[in-house]
Structure formats: C-alpha cells, structure tokens
A and B are shown apart, each in its own frame.
Chain A
Amino acid sequence: MTIDQRPASDALHRAVLYSALDCIVTIDGDGCIVEWNPAAERTFGWTYEEVAGKAMVDVIVPEHLRGSHREGFARYLRGGEPRILDRRVEVEAVRRDGTIFPVELAITRIVVEGPILLTGHIRDITERKQAEAELRSSRARLVETADAARRRLERDLHDGAQQRLIALGLDLQVVRSTIAKDPAAAGGLLETAISDLGEAIAELRELARGIHPAILTERGLAPALAALARRSPIPASFEIVADERPPPAVEASAYFVVSEALTNAAKYSQATCVEVAVLRSGDTLVVAVTDDGVGGADPRTGSGLGGLTDRVAALGGTLVVRSPHGGGTRVEAVIPCGS
C-alpha cells in the first residue's frame, strides 16, 4: 500500500499537524508561509493569521542570518545542490519578542502536484542546549576541583609532615654530633624529635584519611560515618538504615558529603548539635546532615559543597542545601545506587 492509498482524511492530517509538539512550518516557492501549526504559534509567538503569506525568512530567521538564508533558498530554486534539505541541523531562530534561541531544523520537500512546497520541522532546543552547557561546565568544575584537591594535598604535605621530617633529620644530625659530649642536650633534642615524629605521623594519617578513609573501604559507610560523627567537635547523633552496601562511588560521595557538612558546621554554624541520617530506600541513598546553628550557608561560595554538588550530580544525584538565616542548615544528598 503506498502512502496515497492509506485511508486517512484531511481531518486526520490536520489533527496530526495541530497536535504535533514540534513546529511545522510550510513555505511555497516564494518562501512565503502557507502552513503554521499551533506549536509554531506557541514557540514563535505569532498566530497563523499574522504570518500567513509573509516571507518566512522575515518572521523566524534572525536578522544576521537572513542574507545567507535567502542566498541558499535562491540557489536551491535555481537547481543548486540543497545543503540543509532532508537532514537535521542546529540553527538559530527568533521569536516575536526578538529573542534568539537555538532550534533543531529539518526541511523536507513535499512531493505533491503543483507548485513547490517545503516543510520545516522545528524543535526548540533551548533547554537541551542549556543542559549540555551545564554538563560541560560541571565536568570542567569536577576536573578543577580534583586539581585543586591535589594542589591542596601537595601544599599540606609540603608545609606539614615534610617540614617536620626535614627538621627532624637536621636535629638528629645535631644529636649525633653532641651525644658524646653533651648527653643531656642531646636527650632534650631527642625528646623533641620523638614528639615531632608523632605529629608528622598524625598529620600523614589525617591526610591519608582525607584522600580516602581506609575504614570506608574496609568496613563500609556505617562505621566510617560513625567515626566521623565521633570526631565531630559538635555533638553529632548518627543513624543509618541500609541493608546492603551501596556501590563504592556512592559510598565515597556520601562519606564526603557528611564529612564536608560536619566540617562546615564546626567552622561556621555555631550549632549545639548535628544529626547525621543515612537511609537506603530502594535504589536511592539519602544522606542528610542537619544542624541547629545560625544558617546562612551558601554552597556557591567556597569550593567544598560546590565540588560535592558536582560530584553527586556526576552520579545522577542531587545535593540541596537549605540554610535560612537563624534556621540551621540541612545538607541533603539523594544519590541513585544503581541496580
């Protein structure tokens, strides 16, 4: 059965045209609008009556593109090779109010008896473009956050344990030279050296935990978060409801969300208590850290929570910070765990 033989009425075709979500705009050989469906009316802000018979290029093509559009159309009518026919292209269009926006455009020639007719199927891709741009910048921020973390780690190692160990080495040289003739002084230096060594070990342990806590790898989220809660300077209550371990990337993100939220609470919130709650519900892990402090936290300032927002988003989740002035702060991450 060919398409002409299918039992469809004009009314049906019209209904299809009218109910289409994409704009359908048909022009004749003069480039004038002969069809303009309701989606086109909604998208461009012009009614069919307002645009019927008008040059399409003057209605929906932005001014800076009109010259090249006219040239291309004229070339096609002279028998030139069509450049954008029968394929999807991304171009700019203009609305009634003058705003220019991105569209996906597919132009096909309607094969009917009589004069030439071309139909454009036009889809507003503003939201898709915005989502793509946000994805690109989110990826870039993730890379920047990782680089910044490595720089911070290098600086912490350099300024902390490395300096202590270097000074310790110099002190031990002094001990070696003095121990025979001044054992008391050498003994004093050794005491300092032992103390410095202990501090260097503690710093290294803290840094290692910041990179990735061993307890999280070995024992899972509950013991790791319990350890975080125990170290919190603000009294922290802790509850976790999860029957099985989430994937490692989810566990790590949940851990660092809690760690960052507790660190921020200790630094800025003036809270008297903080609650950590983790709930595995189906394929989703919900992590919430709530304090009773002064509020006013802004995740856009400072890279800590901002970086975690991107990290959680990379796993398909969301991180929301609610922190009204005087109303405490609640950091909540919802992370899909996959199947």
Chain B
Amino acid sequence: MPTRVLIVDDHARFRRSARRLLELEGYEVVGEAGDGDAAIAAVAELQPDVVLLDVNLPDTTGFDVAGRLRGTGVRVVLTSDRDASEIAPFAADAGACGFVPKGELSGARLALVLT
C-alpha cells in the first residue's frame, strides 16, 4: 500500500510539481489544500497517512495547523522555502515529525523524515 499524502500549500504551482514528483516516487497523493481550514477539512475527509504542510499559509501558519492535527493520527511533515534553521527546530514542538525544505523535497527525503 503506498503512503497516502495530502499536500497543503497556497501555491498551486508547487502543489502540482510536488504531486507529480511524489507520485512518480511511489506515493499516492490523495488531495491538495490551499489554506489551514481547507487542510483540516481535507484531513477529516480523506484520512491521509501524511500531510506535507507548508509553514506559510494565507490564513494561519503550518505550526498552528500541525497543532490542530495532534491526536488525529495523521503524520505531519512541515515544508517551507525558508531556511531550515528557521523552521526545523520548532517542528517537533508543533507536533510535526520533521521538516523538509521545499527545494530538497523528494520521495526519499520524505521517507527519511517519516522513519
């Protein structure tokens, strides 16, 4: 069974490219969301295994969304185009299992964070 992923990012261009790459590398992208509220609703509806969650969202932050997803069983991987040193130290506090810089996203990198 492939890992089922929800991609949350307000840039459609990134969602499209990330979807194509992750699908090529064996993931099943079950949906996309453009903001925090849509992400919460999509998790409830689609029950993904993993949420690839952008830190900068138009209505809230990825940290906030990760906190709201605590206890749902879904695993959160934060992503951002900001420097890893600004984000990675806070990922665990937010309830995420890790951080992948957007420019370094790949199936292998995601798998590494999830192990």
**Contact between A166 and B24, CB atoms less than 8 A apart:** no
Let me know if B14 and A166 touch, CB within 8 A: yes
Contact of B11 among A163, A173, A177 (CB under 8 A): A163
From the candidates A158, A159, A171, name the one contacting B17 in the complex (CB within 8 A).
Answer: A171
The answer to whether A174 has its CB under 8 Å from any CB of chain B is yes
Most chain A beta-carbon neighbours within 10 Å: one of B18, B21, B105: B21
- Give the size of the chain A interface in residues (CB under 8 angstroms): 17
**Chain B residues, CB < 8 A from A169:** 103
Complex Cα gap A226–B104 (Å): 43
With A158-B56, A158-B81 in contact, is A166–B106 under 8 Å at CB? no
With beta carbons under 8 angstroms apart, the residue of B13, B18, B21 that contacts A164 is B13
Interface residue SS majority, chain B: helix
CA of A164 to CA of B105, assembled, Å: 14
B53 to chain A, nearest CB (A): 15
- Partner pick for B14 among A167, A173, A174, A177, CB 8 A cutoff: A167
Q: Offer 5 A-B interface pairs, CB within 8 angstroms, sorted by A.
A: A158-B56, A163-B11, A170-B14, A173-B21, A174-B20
Interface size grouping (class) on chain B: 10 to 19
Check A174 against B24 for contact (C-beta < 8 Å). Answer: yes
Contacts A158-B56, A177-B24, A178-B24 given; indicate if A167 touches B81 (C-beta within 8 A).
no
* Contact string against B for A residues 171-182, beta-carbon threshold 8 Å, 1 for contact and 0 otherwise: 101100110000
* Whole-angstrom CA separation of A167 from B18 in the bound complex: 7
User: Do B17 and A167 touch (CB < 8 A)?
Assistant: yes
Task: Assess whether B20 is in contact with A170, with CB atoms less than 8 Å apart.
Answer: yes
Minimum CB–CB distance for A26 against chain B, Å: 69
Q: A171-B17, A174-B24 are in contact. Are A166 and B56 (CB under 8 A)?
A: no
Cα of A158 to Cα of B103 in the assembled complex, Å: 13
Do B20 and A166 touch across chains, with their CB atoms under 8 A apart?
no
A158 to B14, CA, bound (A): 12
Contact B24 A170 (CB under 8 A): no
B102 cross-chain contacts in A, Cβ below 8 A: 166
C-alpha spacing A165/B14, complex, angstroms: 10
User: Is the pair A163, B14 in contact by a Cβ cutoff of 8 Å?
Assistant: yes
- Within the assembled complex, what's the spacing in Å between the Cα atoms of A196 and B13? 10
Q: How far is A158 from B13 in the complex, measured between Cα atoms in Å?
A: 13
- Apart from A158-B81, A174-B24, list 19 A-B contacts with CB within 8 A: A162-B81, A163-B13, A164-B13, A166-B17, A166-B81, A167-B13, A168-B17, A169-B103, A170-B14, A170-B20, A170-B21, A171-B17, A171-B20, A173-B21, A174-B20, A174-B21, A177-B24, A177-B25, A196-B13
One of A159, A168, A170, A177 near B18 (C-beta < 8 A): A170
Interface residues in B1-20 (C-beta closer than 8 Å to A): 11, 13-14, 16-18, 20
Chain B hits for A167, CB < 8 A: 11, 13-14, 16-17
Contact at A166–B103, with CB atoms within 8 Å?
Answer: yes
Q: Mark B68-81, 1 if CB is under 8 A from A, else 0.
A: 00000000000001
Are B17 and A170 within 8 A (Cβ)? yes
Complex CA–CA separation, A162 to B81 (angstroms): 8
Report the minimum CB–CB distance from B20 to chain A (whole Å). 5
CB proximity of B74 to chain A, nearest CB, Å: 23
Please, which residues of chain A bring their CB within 8 A of the CB of B24?
174, 177-178
Q: Measured between alpha carbons, how far is A196 from B11 in the docked complex, in Å?
A: 14
Closest to A157 in B: B81
Interface pair B16/A163, CB less than 8 Å apart: no
B11, A170: Cβ atoms closer than 8 Å: no
Scoring A residues 105 to 124 as 1 if CB is less than 8 Å from chain B, else 0, what string do you get? 00000000000000000000
Query: Which are the 4 A-B pairs with shortest beta-carbon distances?
Result: A170-B17, A167-B17, A167-B13, A166-B102
Q: In the bound complex, how far is the Cα of B103 from the Cα of A297, in angstroms?
A: 43
Q: Which residues of B contact A165 (CB under 8 A)?
A: 103
Which chain A residue has the least Cβ–Cβ distance from B106? A173
In whole Å, how far is A174's beta carbon from the nearest beta carbon of chain B?
A: 5
Inter-chain contacts of A158 with B (CB < 8 A)? 56, 81
B13: chain A residues at CB < 8 Å are: 163-164, 167, 196
